[in-house]
Structure 1
Amino acid sequence: MTDTGSDDPAGTRTGHRDREPGPAAHDATSLFGPDSRFHAFFSDPRWALAVVRATVLEAAHPQIGAALIDNSTFVTHPWRRLRNTLVSLQRMFGPDDDVRGREAARLNRLHTRLKGADARNRPYDAMDPEVRAWVVATLFESSVTMCRLSGQPLEQDVMERLYAEFRAYLAALDGDAGHLPPRLQEFWPYYDRVVEERLENTEAMRVILYRLFDHLPAPPLLNGLPTMWAAGRAVAGPVIGVITVASLPEPFRRRAGLPEMPGAQTLMQGAYLAVGLARFLPEGWIQPEAIVRLLALSPGGDDPRARTVSALTDRMKRAGALVRLLAPLGPEPEPDGGTDTRSAEEFFAAVLDQTGDGYLDWPDLAAMAREIAGRLDLDEPAETRLYDAFADWWRELQAALDTDGDGRVSAREYAEAAPSLAGPALIRVAEVLFDVTDTDGDQRVDADEYRALFRRGFRRDRADTDGTYARSAFVRDFLSFMSGRERTSPYDPLFSEA
């Protein structure tokens, strides 16, 4: 059995202290929406720690770890990834069956494209039912563990209700939840077996534990305060890593060789207890989607909250100057946006290398297509048309820039041939991007269509006199951004914001 940090493993999984009542039976319609147990967890600040833990356990699965390393943008664009994940979970667990079905179809199309082989030439497939079941299993088990570590273990009926909701989530994705045991008491042997037999010390798991939080980029809201962000991250990053390692199943920690610092268990339980106290704040103060939207808000945007954010940023800059005066942390770096243009190397790192591995490859352009398709909530065939355009552009780039024939483009190769970037395939990407943005097909992007893509209103120099964006101007600006590397383009936050 998995060591869960107690002398009574069964008791940790079927605790009897949480007196919140749970239904004796679960009809299908009640497993989603505001009455679901998951809905309560979604706004629980403790769930942030649980999700980090679940992500580490997911990444320890060799197939998932390989897919993350090859395709994910979670290192370079973690805030964007977090926001997209929260939106997806809201859609899947919401009360609207049509929205849930649409989101499930979108996720399935996305995962169908994630196939390959790891460094040991073992194949991975994001549509593997075993893999998808494990992702759901880690979310459920980490939610249960979250309650136990914060001193409020779930009662058996509440836990069964929560398990039924997660199985329903898997069924909505796969059409069948058969790869998760049908009953809760059968789940625990399944979970222990996967932990003991399938999980590995993967590269993706190590990146999350030892690199992600130590190098976490600032969200847009704090992008102008790099020194203060770096100082806070230097303290919080290692602490999050220690807490997460201490919360993992002991047999896996031992087998994977994960070091546990003295006092880590006490620190972990203290963190869960402390974060859990935030649940007693007034309702509405802790809303994950609102917090993520705020962090993603640019002080220079046109959102009604931008003026408040700008004032807050100014105050934080003054506080940062005081901190540097009292405890010098080195000169404040020039924030992005200090000039209108940047070097080819800077553009490569900020925009093109979406996965952060130092090379331009198909997964980088696929990540761009994925972000656009998600923002615009594209259906077939528009989504496939967009991916095909980016795939053609990748083939054009590979033919023009891959001088050493290794199948990818390095920053040096890109910098040496950057002027040849704007070829016919890139023009086609711009045309398709306009078409999928122009939802009413009137050959102009209006204010609502513009905001759906860029999440901000027209800049004064973008809109025509009639308040729309013409195809020719849209395509010209996209090509100028991709070849001229302009900082001021609206495409920059679309592709480069963390």
Structure 2
Amino acid sequence: MSDAVSEDFTDPLGPGSMLHELTRQTRWGLVATRAIVLEAAHPQIGAALMTNSTFVAHPWRRLRNTVLSAQRMVDPDKQVRQREAARLNRLHARITGTDGEGRPFNAADSEARAWVVATLFESTVTMCRLSGESLDGPVLDRLYAEFQAFLALMDPYGGKLPPTLREFWRYYASVVEERLENTEAVHVILDRLFAQVPAPPMLRDQPAVWAAGRALAGPAATAIVVASLPESLRARLGLAELPGTRTLMHAAYLSTRLATRLLPEAWTRLDTVMTMLDPAYAPRRGGDAQAGLRALPGLDVLSGLHVLPGLRRGAAKAGALLRLLTPVPGTAASGDSAVRSASRFFSEVLDQTGDGHLDWPDLAAMAREIATRLDLDAQDEDRLFAAFADWWRELQKELDTDGDGRITGHEYAAATAAMAGSALIRIAEVLFDITDTDDDQTIDAREYQALFRTAFDHDPGGGDAGERLTRGEFVRRFLSFMAGRRHSGAYDQMFAQS
């Protein structure tokens, strides 16, 4: 890492930065895993994780999106970084609520966001120390300056890290001693996430292999994380350090460093490992073709307009609804593998946060996943969230029979027909509009892949790779899936798989 000091430092987050290199190394996973535990112990962050995050129900999807976002934040192109920071700010501003003690939380809170960056910096330093890597004064100062720049990009008008390293360590110690709590989120991560993490896409068809590996790796991962935490925090969280775990921890950190130094670089790149775990993982820079199209003058305005006149659009909606109500050939029989039970659909698709019921955070998680995949601008993102919010209000009116503000699996199963109301059709319409980036009123293979990160022939409900979906066909497939009428490999990959 010390070699990086010789690089040009005019751009603290550019290609010559330590962060640019670290976020592309597999060992960055040790940093991120340890940091998320420290973050979860912060009351605001812990509450946001428990009520709004999909990290328990969909950990691999959350990991993929986190990796992509971190890499965008240190992209060589400053415009990509600024766009990603703006996107994160919009998404975080929508995550608000109250915790179990009635205390309000907001994911955009400046103090909480500063703590997130602080945990990443301190965990990076810990990774280097435990792996035997020396960080001398200039290198450590530079690394800290990069994390300060990272926070300034993410929260330019809010909280800041202390100006010097000496002050940072005092700040870090005070937060650990005075601010962190024994939150539910910490124990969910340590007790459930590692022990129950579902198989990554590559091993989904090998449950026995995954279960055997997880039985060994899960407890080891928990022990390594716990042993690396500050001693005072471990005591407050009631986490005992088992004999031998420090040796295991040092071995894990040291082995990752040796692997980085001795193995071919391509083998230790985070993108390589992510692709091995999830063949659909495809790192896309924020400045890809779609973002480039949206940057053209006037295109943001044009993306809200439709070529078809209002009358024809109304007819298309009516036709899509009629086709939805007409049984799809080969899926009407109850024994057909394409039919998913109401309870399975509820748990696999609708309950995004995995807390056993449906409420607004679940639908917001769906909207966030789409916005992240398509790297939407503010205008399209607002339209998408507004459509999902309308659907949530419609679902509450139709399905929330006891008026408690959320929908149980029983309430959903008793009135599944209400799923395909006018608000859901509106979501399908908005989704078509934001996916159809060239505004030709069809979804071609390139646009389809941008949304689903797969090809047509990977979708059991699709046709061949050269197919172009019309508005009506796209709406019909979306409604058929969201009404729980049939499987779709593409939509399952987006909403149902972990």
TM range (shorter): 0.7 to 0.9
CA distance in 2, matches of 1:227, 1:478: 33
Note the 1:246-325 alignment, pairs <5 A: 246-279=227-260, 280-297=262-279
Q: One-letter code of the match for 1:490?
A: A
Note the 1:27-426 alignment, pairs <5 A: 27=10, 29=11, 31-176=12-157, 179-279=160-260, 280-297=262-279, 339-426=337-424
Structure 2 gap segments, 5+ residues each: 283-334
CA distance in 2, matches of 1:284, 1:193: 40
Partner residue, 2:487: 487
SS at structure 1 position matched to 2:267: coil
Q: One-letter code of the match for 2:358?
A: L
> CA offset at residue 20 of structure 1?
4.1
Q: Is 1:454–1:494's contact at 8 Å kept on the other side of the alignment?
A: yes
Question: Of 429, 432, 435, which residue of structure 1 is paired with 2:430?
Answer: 432
> CA offset at residue 298 of structure 1?
6.0
Q: One-letter code of the match for 2:248?
A: L
Cα 1:442–1:356 change in 2 (3 A) is same
CA RMSD of aligned residues (A): 2.1
Cα 1:439–1:43 change in 2 (3 A) is closer
Partner residue, 1:327: none
Q: One-letter code of the match for 2:472?
A: S
SS at structure 2 position matched to 1:381: helix
Q: Is 1:170–1:176's contact at 8 Å kept on the other side of the alignment?
A: no
Q: Is 1:196–1:251's contact at 8 Å kept on the other side of the alignment?
A: yes
> CA offset at residue 354 of structure 1?
0.4
> CA offset at residue 420 of structure 1?
2.1
Cα 1:70–1:86 change in 2 (3 A) is same
Identity of aligned residues (%): 59
Deviations 1:441-479 (A, max 9, x none): 111111111110011122396359973110000001111
Q: Is 1:454–1:490's contact at 8 Å kept on the other side of the alignment?
A: yes
Q: One-letter code of the match for 1:447?
A: A
Cα 1:402–1:147 change in 2 (3 A) is same
Q: One-letter code of the match for 1:118?
A: D
> CA offset at residue 347 of structure 1?
0.5
> CA offset at residue 85 of structure 1?
0.8
Partner residue, 1:318: none
Partner residue, 1:478: 478
Cα 1:449–1:216 change in 2 (3 A) is same
Q: Is 2:52–2:95's contact at 8 Å kept on the other side of the alignment?
A: yes
Q: One-letter code of the match for 2:451?
A: L
Q: One-letter code of the match for 2:134?
A: P
Mean alpha-carbon deviation: is it higher for 260-269 or for 240-249? 260-269
Q: Is 1:33–1:39's contact at 8 Å kept on the other side of the alignment?
A: yes
Q: One-letter code of the match for 2:487?
A: R
Cα 1:275–1:23 change in 2 (3 A) is closer
Q: One-letter code of the match for 2:94?
A: R
SS at structure 2 position matched to 1:490: helix
Size of the aligned set, in residue pairs, is 443
Q: Is 1:50–1:142's contact at 8 Å kept on the other side of the alignment?
A: yes
Q: Is 1:23–1:161's contact at 8 Å kept on the other side of the alignment?
A: no
> CA offset at residue 179 of structure 1?
2.2
CA distance in 1, matches of 2:171, 2:85: 25
Deviations 1:350-404 (A, max 9, x none): 1000000000110000000000011111102110000000011011111111112
Structure 1 gap segments, 5+ residues each: 1-17, 302-336
> CA offset at residue 19 of structure 1?
5.5
SS at structure 1 position matched to 2:132: coil
CA distance in 1, matches of 2:77, 2:280: 31
SS at structure 2 position matched to 1:124: strand
CA distance in 2, matches of 1:40, 1:157: 18
Question: Of 428, 444, 447, which residue of structure 2 is paired with 1:446?
Answer: 444
Cα 1:36–1:24 change in 2 (3 A) is closer
CA distance in 2, matches of 1:368, 1:91: 21
TM-score normalized by the length of structure 1:
0.85
Q: One-letter code of the match for 1:100?
A: R
> CA offset at residue 406 of structure 1?
1.2
CA distance in 2, matches of 1:398, 1:21: 55
Deviations 1:11-50 (A, max 9, x none): xxxxxxx7546359943x2x12221111232233332112
CA distance in 2, matches of 1:445, 1:376: 14
> CA offset at residue 69 of structure 1?
0.4
TM-score normalized by the length of structure 2:
0.85
